[in-house]
Each structure stands twice: as structure tokens, then as C-alpha cells.
Chains A and B, each alone.
Chain A
Amino acid sequence: MAEITAPEDRRRLVTLLSPAYLWLTLAVFLPLSAMLFFSFLTDLPQDAPDWGFTLENYLSFGESEVYATLLWKSLKLGVTVTFFCILIGYPCALVLARTIKGRARETLFLLVILPFWSNSLVRIFSWAIVLRGNGVLERGLEAVLPWDIRLNLMFTTHAVVIGLVHSYLPYVILTSYLALQAIDDDIVDAARSMGASTLTILRRLLLPLSLPGLLAGAVLVFVPVVGSFMEPRILGGRHGTYYGTVIEDQFVAVYNWPLGAALSFVLLAVVLLILGLSTPILRRART
């Protein structure tokens, strides 16, 4: 990594960086800044001429226990889903990157991401058909097993976790794969020739070297899951109320944009705080 010194480096940096960030500024940063501004208002300027500034929207987060309870519930959901995505996805990436070779690997790489190319609502409704009472899963198990099965998975937190893990698993698999595949075979062979066991190689070599990829995947799972509302609503039934559904209600049901925006920025702040706090810990774990 180079410090910028030469003017030609500076020119190259600007050329490479500015298109993406100008685009993001126009389409995301400026609109979100407007939203941030709204979150400090009593009413939207286009609706009420007597709008004014207030901290009320942020204070109401503290006043009512509901928001804090639900944010905590959503954070726990985020941790659970991320945990299962790593537990399931990392071994997959390991197999894909280290044991499978040639064309088969490319094909599997694509197969992992293809389910993503379908509509998420259709996918969630398909899960509902699988999980519901007397649905595909129960019928399937009943056909194989001799006794009656009553799983009652639908409309529980389990159903929400299953649906979300399914939706976000490809992120962890692919980012871990990208890092694992980059590790030089020679290093692994050298370690093995020095008598390191498979477990030691995994723990001392592969895991630390692939950590950046694994973490990128974990972030891409955790961050959006905390604010998710569609999967909880459809699969969670009466247990499906989360922080994201509350924000959605403020925007859709009562048109209280200032409060909805304030709740979103509290979410953003908490998520960034968690990421910020965990960075040094993870960096220490790496060395």
C-alpha cells in the first residue's frame, strides 16, 4: 500500500474512486442526509407549514420500552442468523475452495448464488409452503418415517431464522471462498510436511488467512438482517414483530416519516457502534 506522493498517483486515485462515490453521493448519501434532516422535524415541510425542529423523535426511542426491546430482539436475531450462516457456510467454502477442482468448482460457485436470482417474496412464500402444518416438509418426513410428525415450525422464530439464513447464506459462502481460494497451496503443503494436523492447519493457517473474507460475509449478513421486516412478518406470525417491522409501520401505516427516519438512524448508529467495537477485538484475534 502506498502513501500518495506523486501527482500521477493522486490523479489515478481520483479517477478510480470518484465515479463510484459520486454516484453514491447523488443516489444515497444526499437523499439519506435529507432523511436525517427530517428525523429532527416535527412534521414534513411539504405537509405542514408549521413544522419545526425537535429531538422528540429520538427521545421517544428512550421513552417507550417497545423500541429498545425490539431492537435488542433484532440484534439477537442478527447474531443468530450470522452464527448459523458462518457455521453452515464456512465449511462449504472450505470444501469448495480446497478440495474441489476444475470445472466442477466453477459450476458449484454459480449454483450457490443462482437461488438469489429469484424474487425474495416468492422464495419466502415457498418457504411457507415447505414449513407450514401439513406442508412439504411434514409430508416428506411422514413418507420416510413411520410415525406422525408435527413440527409446527411455521409462524415461529425458527421459521424466521431458517428463511433469513437461506437468504443470506450465499454471501458468507462466496466471500469466504474468495479468501480461502487465494491461499497458496505451497504454504499448506509446507505446514503439512512439518507434521501439522488438519485441525492445526485449519486453526492456525486457513482460518486467520481467510478471516477478512469471512468477516466481509458476516457483515453483509448481520447488517441487513437487523433491519429486515419481510421474512419476520410472513414467516414469524405473531412472533414476527421486530425493529424493522416497527420502522416499516411508521412509514407505511401512519406516515410518520420523522419518527421512522429517527428509528432508522438509531439502528444505523447501533450497528456501526457494534462493528466499530468488534474491529479491534477481531484484529487482535488475527495476530
Chain B
Amino acid sequence: MRRPLLPLLGRAWLALILVFLYAPILVMAAMSFNASPFYQLPFEFSTRWYADMAMNPQIIEASLRSVGIALATMVIATALGTAASIALFRYDFPGKRVLQVLLFPPIAIPWLITGTAMLIFFFAIGIGRGTPAVLIGHVALALPYVIVTVSARLSSFDVTLEEAARALGADAWTVLRRVTLPWIAPGIVAGALFAFAVSFDQFVVSYFLAEPGDSTLPVLIYTAIRKGFTPEINAISTIIITVSMGIMFLATRKSSFGGSR
């Protein structure tokens, strides 16, 4: 029934794009095994950067702190963002458009400016700096991404499904848990992954709001570029990507979140 040429072409295209997406990641990993501190070619194999990194408590602590903050951001932003998306989708109320438009300033205004604004404001109202302040900032920056992503999925949700379930006697909570959430699960997963990425890569807010000595990995990298960062950064990044890849593959074995039809 199916014409084999088109799907084949499609798969080839997908493979090509994956090569494009992973090109810099592979280069990053390769450079972590390259002896030159200046990322010079030709390639010369060495594991010295891994040895250096293992001896550098600062870089390890910063990485662990970044992962912790990113995980917390992911959980909080996904929960709050999903709830808000459902509300924006399900109900019509005055001011709804305004609330939707308000999601754009945090995305449009460069993080540098938002970060600076947070710094001034948090000091003015007494939140000050420290890990709680960093977390507040990260969650706020990740929220619009979660809401936009989950809303993109919700927009194709068939409300009659909910109504049918309700007609069959299910209460609101059961409808949410058994009908709505499973349907939008792929959107929630995508939103959560974006939230992690936003937090994990966020240096401006952490830079302004983290306590001295409690820096995160992006801050470490950002401040190191003045003097020059060594491939130790590549080594830790490679380890993080590899570990996350492992965890994600385990996750795909345990659950299906790509959406079922």
C-alpha cells in the first residue's frame, strides 16, 4: 500500500538533521580527548583533561549544583506551567489575551536585561541573593517555554473527550488524570525538557544572584573565558551529556510519552 520512496527519503532527512544537531556535540566530546589546551588540530589523543577535571572540586561542585537547580526548575516550572496552560485552554475569561501576551516579554527581552532587573528588584524587596533567588529566577524564565509548548499540544485536544468522560460520571479530577493529562503528556515531557535546558544553560541570572563561591557551571564557564577555559569544560560536558543520554534511554524503556493514537 505504502510507497516506499517517500518514507525512505524522510528517514534520510531525519538522519541528516541528527548529524547536524550532533556535529558540535561530537566536536565537543572529541576536543575533551584532544591534548591541545587551545583546541588545536590535528587531533592528539589524551585523557589529561579528565584527570584534571577529576582533581578540580570547583568544577564538580558547580556541575552538581547546576544539575540540582535544573532538576528543581524542571519540576516546579512543569507543574505550574501545565496547570496554567490547562486553565488558559479550558476557560474563557476577560483578560485572557493579556495573560497570553505577557508570556512574551521574558522570551523577547534579552536575559541580560531580565537578569539585571531581577538583581535590583530582589535586593529592593529583600530576597537578596543565594540559591533560592536563583531558583525563583530560573523557574520564571522557564515558565513561558513550558506554557507555550504545552499549549501547542492542547490546541489539538478534543474537548468532547472530556465531556464524554464527564457524561459517563467521572469527576473533574478523574477526567484530568485519565483523559486530559495522558493526551497532553508529550507536550508536558517536551516542556519539561526545555525547562531543564533553559535552567541548565542560564548564566546571567545565576551570575548575578548566586552567592560568591556557590557558582554554577555556566557561570564558571562564562567567567573563565576571559582567561581561557581549558578542555576540562568539554570533559565535564561530555560526561553530563553521556549520563543524561543513558537516563533518557532508560526512561524510554519504562514509559511511552511520544503520544499514542
Residues of A within 8 A of B (CB): 1-4, 9, 12-13, 15-17, 19-21, 23-24, 26-32, 34-35, 88-89, 91-92, 94-96, 99-100, 103, 105-123, 125-127, 129-130, 134-136, 139, 166, 169-171, 173-175, 177-179, 181-185, 198, 209-210, 212-213, 216-217, 219-220, 223-224, 226-229, 244, 247-248, 251-252, 257, 260-261, 264-265, 267-268, 271-272, 275
Residues of B within 8 A of A (CB): 3, 6-7, 10-11, 13-14, 17-18, 20-25, 27-28, 31, 39, 41, 80-81, 83-84, 86-93, 99, 101-102, 104-110, 112-114, 116-118, 120-122, 124, 136-137, 139-141, 143-145, 147-149, 151-153, 155-157, 159, 172, 183, 186-187, 189-190, 193-194, 196-197, 200-201, 203, 217-218, 221-222, 225, 233-234, 237, 240-241, 244-245, 248-249, 251-253, 256-259, 261
**Do residues B261 and A185 form an inter-chain contact, with CB atoms below 8 A?**
yes
Q: Which 3 A-B pairs have the closest CB atoms?
A: A27-B140, A31-B117, A16-B87
Tell me which residues across on chain B come within 8 A of A26, comparing CB atoms.
136, 140
Q: Which residue from chain B places its CB closest to the CB of A27 in the assembled complex?
A: B140
**Do residues A4 and B92 form an inter-chain contact, with CB atoms below 8 A?**
yes
Measured between alpha carbons, how far is A115 from B248 in the docked complex, in Å? Answer: 13
Tell me which residues across on chain B come within 8 A of A91, comparing CB atoms.
10, 13
Tell me which residues across on chain B come within 8 A of A16, comparing CB atoms.
83-84, 86-87
**Do residues B121 and A129 form an inter-chain contact, with CB atoms below 8 A?**
no
**Do residues B197 and A113 form an inter-chain contact, with CB atoms below 8 A?**
yes
Partner of A34, one of B20, B117, B253: B117
Listed by A's residue number, 12 A-B pairs whose Cβ atoms lie within 8 Å are A1-B89, A3-B92, A4-B91, A16-B83, A19-B84, A28-B114, A88-B20, A109-B257, A116-B201, A119-B221, A139-B41, A198-B3
Tell me which residues across on chain B come within 8 A of A220, comparing CB atoms.
107, 145, 148
**Do residues B93 and A13 form an inter-chain contact, with CB atoms below 8 A?**
yes
Measured between alpha carbons, how far is A85 from B155 in the docked complex, in Å? Answer: 22
**Do residues A121 and B13 form an inter-chain contact, with CB atoms below 8 A?**
no
Tell me which residues across on chain A come within 8 A of B261, comparing CB atoms.
181, 184-185
Tell me which residues across on chain A come within 8 A of B186, comparing CB atoms.
109, 177-178, 181
Contacts between chains A and B (CB distance < 8 A), count:
306
**Do residues B80 and A20 form an inter-chain contact, with CB atoms below 8 A?**
yes
- Contact (A34, B244) CB under 8 Å given A17-B88, A127-B24, A223-B107: no
**Do residues A27 and B136 form an inter-chain contact, with CB atoms below 8 A?**
yes
**Do residues B13 and A28 form an inter-chain contact, with CB atoms below 8 A?**
no
- Contact (A117, B196) CB under 8 Å given A174-B190, A220-B148: yes
**Do residues A175 and B201 form an inter-chain contact, with CB atoms below 8 A?**
no
Partner of A29, one of B27, B102, B108: B102
Tell me which residues across on chain A come within 8 A of B21, comparing CB atoms.
111-112, 115, 166, 169-170
**Do residues B112 and A179 form an inter-chain contact, with CB atoms below 8 A?**
no
Instruction: Give min CB distance, A161 to chain B, whole Å.
Output: 13
Instruction: Give min CB distance, A30 to chain B, whole Å.
Output: 6
Measured between alpha carbons, how far is A108 from B102 in the docked complex, in Å? Answer: 33
Measured between alpha carbons, how far is A55 from B13 in the docked complex, in Å? Answer: 52
